[in-house]
Structure 1
Amino acid sequence: MQFLYFILPAVFASISIDLDTHFKSNEEHWEHFQKVRAKNLLEAGTSSMLKNGDDTIYYGVISIGTPAKKFTCQYDTGSTTLWVVKKGCEDCHKCDQTYDPTKSSTFKDLDATMDIEYGIGSTSGEMVSDVVGIGDSTVLNATQYAFLMATKETNDTGFAPDGLIGFAFDDLGQGYPSLMTVLQTQKKITSRTFAFFLNYEGSSPQSNLMVEGYDLAKYSNQTAFIYVDLVAKNPPDFWEISFTQTLFGTTILDIAITGIIDTGTSFIYAPLKDVTAISAFLTSSKTFGCKQDGEGLIFCDKISSELPSIYFQAAGITLELAPHDYMYKVKGKYLLIIFPQEDDYWLLGDSFIRRYYINFDMDNQRLGFALSNAKMDDDSGVYLSLIGLGLAFLSF
């Protein structure tokens, strides 16, 4: 929705279960099944590592054209269209690689234009098609995939990759299908599923995206995902789920509200009334050492053990956001990274996603959640300007 990242599979494996194994209960049998299924899915899918930029952006490699040229793109579940900067663009951000249509024998001009509005900034240009491959693989690629060759950008806030590739539903593509749909149509994949694991910068294991597979043993301590259906829409657009209620500790913030899971947004955005309530709590007691600066940002001296978690209750699951998930270390202080917005929903970006290993299932229109193994070092946090917000920090 703002901007993100990456990647793929191509070999398909069947699920086999040892029928000679005896189980004491249905639960034990189901757990064994899930472990075997996860192992087969890991072998079936192709795993790709993601690069982390200051815990605010995750990106990786794609290839375009014949011969193939590599580009670094953010992978974004909040949008659908792929775009890269056209060679010679004077109104675009500075990047390492640009797309030159004269250098690809499979390039086609679609004689159309597109303008994409993001939460921050916009991108516009010419619609073209070419061979597009995900990651370093030469197997998983889409032939004549339609994408945007950017000729203008506005409100750049420090975006550094060569472009962006979207993983939301087709409805956001302005008449052009998503890459996942095209790959499925061209029989490069059988199901439109992918799993994101986002870790903190410098932590192990490295952030990862796997298409048509997942590795719960590596990225979570759970043996299965808990699935939540998306908000029913025809056609679907965002990865949006319904919460029966959201709570700050024991205080109810919302009843019957939705949340959008967006890898392309760095932080978290919430309705103004919710941010106001959380900010008022933090600044109401000297215990937390929290103050509001002249820009309206909340800074605290420490992350107190008395700070409450935020809970998102959905059908059959409660998703928790702990204090260290919603506060970031900045120049020795801690910044509240839940920011107000006019819309009446929660926009849950990377700060939320790091908490969970998430399986995105387009075909069944659902999201699977498993507690993530992401690890934060004591010194983790954002020390530079917050790229996802376009804010520059003043001295304290």
Structure 2
Amino acid sequence: MKCLVAVLVCVVLAEGMVKIPLRKHKSMREALREKGIEVPYQDPALKYQGNEYGSANMYINNYADTTYYGAISIGTPPQSFEVLFDTGSANLWVDSIYCNTQACNTHTKFNPQQSSTFVAKDQSFYLPYGAGSLYGVFGYDTVNVGGIVITNQEVGLSTNEPGQNFVVAQFDGILGLSYPSISAGGETPVMDNMMAQNLLNANIFAFYLSRGGQQGSVLSFGGVDNNLYQGQIYWTPVTSETYWQIGVQGFQVNGQETGWCSQGCQAIVDTGTSMLTAPSQLMGSIMQSIGAQQNQYGAYVVDCGQVNNLPTLSFVISGVTFPLPPSAYIMQNGYQCSVGISPTYLPSRDGEPLWIFGDVFLREYYSVYDRSYNRVGFATAA
């Protein structure tokens, strides 16, 4: 028996239960009332309704400054999974009992047979990523993201994850946050269902990515967290409603314009990419300006003692300059200092040089993704 009465303690005697008054400390409400302050009553159940106000702030995990992931639940009763929150893809999928590869067997698997709300969908899919790929089947179920409950969300259930890429992953699946136009199988992304089901105050989400391997990263839905950035948010339009792709008008080294983006560059803002990724044709010039050398493994490295003397790299976006100091793009692992910039060989769809603003950039700048106005906002991270 459990008795949780404010001023009573329950005592069970042989002849039955008697209630004995118990002297206790004043409640916070009583103490404030004596000072003339009346606290309005609030329903204590409100804390269980994360989407009551149409917004949610989720603390997400930082694994070694390379992966940012957090917990969601799927099904009834809920089954919990760690997923990578990825602005560079559009599908939601998790490991499932249908998969027995090594990658699946090292992670938590969704069991649709244990969910009363799961509905199977006779459709299979294949998803290639920059690293790793998988096969799966789609189904519908209830999904809870930060207390926001989405009904009839399409979920991919993995059936085969070949290779080793996902074996060592810290997550059990990926939650894509880009546009539905790039969704495999025409699946409706989580964000689009949040919008369609009117679950958000505003059709936006935002990321604060912690640095130095520290925790404290935050993903917000339906609003921004003013405590996580300084100054104002600068907006730039999305140039292609596929990825979160934006235009770049300039690239500077120590404040000097290089001219490399004078004819225009494009950039994909991608929380699922660890590095800053540069157009391959510019990679040699960038490394030369940094003074980096390739080691025997092909990685670009610098002398750790010289990091403070390295140049600041800056992007000009919609007339605003966004600097990246060397502390942002140099990764220190023990005695080795490597450059957190890698090449991409893909041009953008319109042929302009393509950058990927991965976590190296996004740790410096709080990023806001606005589906109502199809724009991305950046502000200096707190």
Question: After TM superposition, is the score higher than 0.5?
Answer: yes
2:200 and 2:222 in contact (8 A); partners too: yes
Match of 2:272? 264
Give the AA of the match of 1:348. Answer: F
Does the alignment pair 1:325 with 2:366?
no
2:65 and 2:213 in contact (8 A); partners too: no
Does the alignment pair 1:346 with 2:355?
yes
Shift of residue 190, structure 1, vs aligned partner: 4.4
Q: After alignment, is 92-101 or 357-366 more displaced? A: 92-101
The secondary structure found in structure 1 opposite 2:309 is: coil
Shift of residue 124, structure 1, vs aligned partner: 1.3
Match of 2:248? 243
Match of 2:302? 300
Does the alignment pair 1:194 with 2:205?
yes
Does the alignment pair 1:309 with 2:312?
yes
Give the AA of the match of 1:152. Answer: N
Counterpart selection for 2:261 from 240, 243, 254? 254
C-alpha separation in 2, matches of 1:254 and 1:245: 5
Match of 2:162? 154
Shift of residue 155, structure 1, vs aligned partner: 4.0
Correspondence 1:136-155 to 2 at 5 A: 137=147, 140-155=148-163
Shift of residue 77, structure 1, vs aligned partner: 0.5
Larger RCO: 1 or 2 (CA < 8 Å, sep 6+): 1
**Cα gap change, 1:282 to 1:225, in 2 (>3 Å):** closer
Correspondence 1:82-93 to 2 at 5 A: 82-91=92-101, 93=103
Does the alignment pair 1:336 with 2:342?
no
Q: After alignment, is 244-253 or 330-339 more displaced? A: 244-253
Shift of residue 176, structure 1, vs aligned partner: 1.6
Shift of residue 273, structure 1, vs aligned partner: 2.2
Counterpart selection for 1:114 from 120, 125, 130? 125
1:323-365 residue CA offsets vs partner (Å, 9 max, x unmatched): 1111100221210111112123001111110000111101210
2:55 and 2:200 in contact (8 A); partners too: no
C-alpha separation in 1, matches of 2:78 and 2:298: 47
Does the alignment pair 1:280 with 2:282?
no
2:235 and 2:375 in contact (8 A); partners too: yes
Match of 1:28? none
Shift of residue 11, structure 1, vs aligned partner: 3.5
2:51 and 2:149 in contact (8 A); partners too: no
Shift of residue 239, structure 1, vs aligned partner: 0.6
C-alpha separation in 1, matches of 2:372 and 2:164: 34
C-alpha separation in 1, matches of 2:246 and 2:55: 26
1:83 and 1:164 in contact (8 A); partners too: yes
Does the alignment pair 1:77 with 2:87?
yes
Match of 2:76? 66
Counterpart selection for 2:220 from 210, 224, 246? 210
1:9 and 1:210 in contact (8 A); partners too: no
1:268 and 1:346 in contact (8 A); partners too: yes
Give the AA of the match of 2:155. Answer: F
**Cα gap change, 1:281 to 1:226, in 2 (>3 Å):** closer
C-alpha separation in 2, matches of 1:372 and 1:150: 36
The secondary structure found in structure 2 opposite 1:305 is: helix
**Cα gap change, 1:230 to 1:353, in 2 (>3 Å):** same
Correspondence 1:356-371 to 2 at 5 A: 356-371=365-380
Considering fraction of residues, name the structure with more strand: 2
Shift of residue 201, structure 1, vs aligned partner: 4.5
Give the AA of the match of 1:254. Answer: C
1:44-72 residue CA offsets vs partner (Å, 9 max, x unmatched): 63211011111100110111011111111
Shift of residue 142, structure 1, vs aligned partner: 1.2
**Cα gap change, 1:96 to 1:154, in 2 (>3 Å):** closer
C-alpha separation in 2, matches of 1:11 and 1:70: 21
C-alpha separation in 2, matches of 1:9 and 1:189: 11
Output the TM-score relative to the length of structure 1.
Answer: 0.77
**Cα gap change, 1:304 to 1:99, in 2 (>3 Å):** closer
1:124 and 1:152 in contact (8 A); partners too: yes
Larger-gyration structure (1/2): 2
Shift of residue 149, structure 1, vs aligned partner: 0.2
Match of 2:293? 291
1:212-261 residue CA offsets vs partner (Å, 9 max, x unmatched): 11122x21221x31111111x4xx11111101122233233332001111
1:52 and 1:201 in contact (8 A); partners too: no
**Cα gap change, 1:86 to 1:67, in 2 (>3 Å):** same
Question: Is there any run of 5+ residues in structure 2 with no aligned partner, and where?
Answer: 1-48, 347-352
Shift of residue 154, structure 1, vs aligned partner: 3.2
C-alpha separation in 1, matches of 2:303 and 2:336: 5
